[in-house]
Amino acid sequence: MINWTFEAGLQSSADIVQVATDSKKIYDLFSNDNVVMTSSSHLSGTDRVNEAVSKLSLSDEDVVINIQGDEPFINPEDINNLFDLVSKKEISMGTLYGDLKSLDELEDSNKVKILVNDGIASNFFRETSLVNNIFIHQGVYAFKYKTLKSFVSWKPSDNEKKYKLEQFRALDNGIKINAIKSVSKIHLGVDTEDDLKKANEIAKDDSYK
């Protein structure tokens, strides 16, 4: 699954694609040029990504995209579109969203919802009764490097700890998160055993590509 996510990164226009992990088992699956061993004490994936990219010679305006290893069906065009978005001078952070498939998803706490108004992520929910401008959030983030460094310098916010959603650390510190619609055919972050079963079924059928 992680390799599929990694391969999507390689198919994008990204200059550097690396796997960041604290697992020796995962580390050993990749060549040394493509993987970075990181601390096991990170509070979020974003904190882990920051450690990995701190070893690179990045400028403040460079764009860093954090794709969790549980996004095996992400379309490389989503990565490119996020890069193009956050490359704009006035934008510091971006993310992706997809359409709700059913109203039941509103009450599914494992599927994070995003409220989008005029291309801006106004709020995030585990559960909500709202329906207008509500979408399913795709857990992929793009940052200007200077924004990423600020993000990891802040303590986890109350909302981040309450909802276990790291993006609240950005919102609660005044960072505007731009949001664009994903072009991926399959939107499935593999967070549960049921998600893994669905992913295995999808993986057997190449038609999703």
What are the extents of the domains in the chain?
Answer: 2-190
pLDDT of residue 44: 84
108-116: long-range contacts, CB 8 A cutoff, minimum separation 24: 110/191, 110/192, 110/195, 111/136, 112/136, 112/137, 112/139, 112/165, 113/137, 114/179, 116/179
| pTM confidence score | 0.86
**CA atoms of 66 and 168, how far apart (whole Å):** 16
DSSP line for 128-164:
----TTEEEEEEEEEEEHHHHHHHHHSPPPHHHHHHT
* Helix ranges (DSSP H) in the chain: 2-11, 24-27, 45-53, 76-86, 145-153, 158-163, 167-171, 193-203
- 178: nearest Cα among 50, 82, 89: 82
Helix (H, G, I), strand (E, B) or coil at 17: coil
- 53: nearest Cα among 87, 19, 2, 99: 19
Q: Does domain 2-190 have CATH number 3.90.550.10?
A: yes
The model's pLDDT over 31-49, given as tens digits with 9 standing for 90+, comes to 888 999 999 999 888 999 9
pLDDT tier, 69 (very low <50, low <70, confident <90, very high otherwise): confident
Place of tokens 């609660």: 172
Q: What is the DSSP letter of 175?
A: -
The model's pLDDT over 81-97, given as tens digits with 9 standing for 90+, comes to 999 999 999 999 999 99
**CA atoms of 112 and 10, how far apart (whole Å):** 27
**CA atoms of 79 and 140, how far apart (whole Å):** 9
Task: Say if CB 185 and CB 208 are below 8 A apart.
Answer: yes
Tokens of 149: 């460094």
* Mean per-residue pLDDT of the chain: 89
If you average pLDDT over residues 171-200, what whole number do you get? 76
- 170: nearest Cα among 178, 115, 20: 178
